[in-house]
Amino acid sequence: MASSNLPSNDWNKGLSVLVYVYFRPFNMSPFEAGDKASGQGRARISSLKQKKVETRPEKEYTLNMTKVCLKKFFSLAFVVLFPTNALSEEATEWQASDYVESRLIASHKAVPDAAEGPLYVGWHVRLAENWKTYWRTPGDAGLPPLIDWQGSVNVASAELLYPVPERFEIFDLFTYGYHDEVVYPIRITPAVEGAPVTLNAHIRFLVCDDLCIPEQATFSLTIPASEFGAPVSLNAGLIDKFLAQVPKQDASEAASLKIISVDALGASDKKNLVFRVSGEKLMTGANLIVEDTNGIQFGRPEKRILENPKEAEFIVPIFGSSQEQPMENMPVNVIVSDGWGAAQEFELNALGIED
């Protein structure tokens, strides 16, 4: 709805419609608000037609015409300053069901060049109370999100990243995922640097409470080429917040979190892995996740703070170890978070443990 298409003698009604749409109740769509405001305008016009028209003095007529012209000016200014598609290059519209709503958001208003840093988009998910969605390895139940980028333009790769998940437990089942709100950061690499990027994403995912419901959403987001730099978008801070929760993959000596040792504990049918980890801060809020792999599952770790409070020990039960996959050759991913915002992912190619 653009005010420039309104009849010239209907500026007052147009302004009332615009104001009503932009300051509508949060649960009313722009279309419903426009219809309601237009209906109110028509009712006022009908009422005015029934009134007796009186001749007014020339001075009063001139004053009223000045007011009309001012209203026309401010109505046009309102449309210019607050266009309905002002965020079209930064975020899509929300897509909602009974239990979840989601959208795509961009880190920049234009495609940044190499010197300005990478381009990220975020899949922003908000869930109803008690509902959750899942990590890349969901555990005993659930499914990770699947994104089809078919039809996207100028996209060499789109890497879906995962913030550190929460651990949920119900009926002795362990799952990993997110509740309330999460942004999945997605690192976009353009095929041609500096050219516009169009993202077409079809996302299939699962949300669960006492029951699980498969969901899907389809988005299209265009990020234009940069002419005078690529300023960050209004949603950049939200993407950065969850990007900071993605575990780093830095096994160097400078890493803030380290795995000091890995040992085995217990009989062959009730074996546990014992991880000793260290950090730069107190480890009282630390957590450890061993990602399920090759049919082998790992239970909830038991944590013990060591004599040095910057070190902790995690005892992790193992389920499903097989003769075909000896433990000493078993590749696993281990995620350690210190509870202070730092998280580290370790890829252990061989545990060095005899089965």
Question: In this predicted structure, what is the pLDDT of residue 135?
Answer: 97
In three-state secondary structure terms, 23 is: coil
Amino acid letter, 74: F
Comparing CA positions, the residue from 206, 28, 229, 273 lying closest to residue 117 is 229
Per-residue pLDDT of the chain (355 residues; tens, 9 = 90+): 333 333 344 434 333 433 333 344 444 444 444 444 444 443 433 443 344 334 445 555 455 555 444 444 443 343 334 333 334 469 999 999 999 999 999 999 999 988 888 999 999 999 999 999 999 999 888 999 999 999 999 999 999 999 999 999 887 788 999 999 999 999 999 999 889 999 999 999 999 998 999 999 999 999 999 888 889 999 999 999 999 999 998 766 657 899 999 888 876 556 888 999 999 999 999 999 999 877 788 888 999 999 999 999 999 998 865 545 556 667 789 999 999 989 999 988 656 554 4
Query: How is residue 153 annotated by DSSP?
Result: B
pLDDT given at position 263: 86
- Range list of H helices, 140-235: none
Quote helix, strand, coil % in the chain, to nearest 5.
Answer: 20, 35, 40
Task: Report all structural domains of the chain as residue ranges with CATH numbers, in order of start.
Answer: 3-81 (no CATH), 95-243 (2.60.40), 258-348 (2.60.40)
What residues contact 282, with CB distance under 8 A and at least 6 apart?
A: 309, 310
Residue 86: burial class (beta carbons within 10 Å; 0-12, 13-18, 19+): exposed
Q: Which residues contact 348 (CB under 8 A, 6 or more apart)?
A: 259, 262, 331, 332, 333, 334
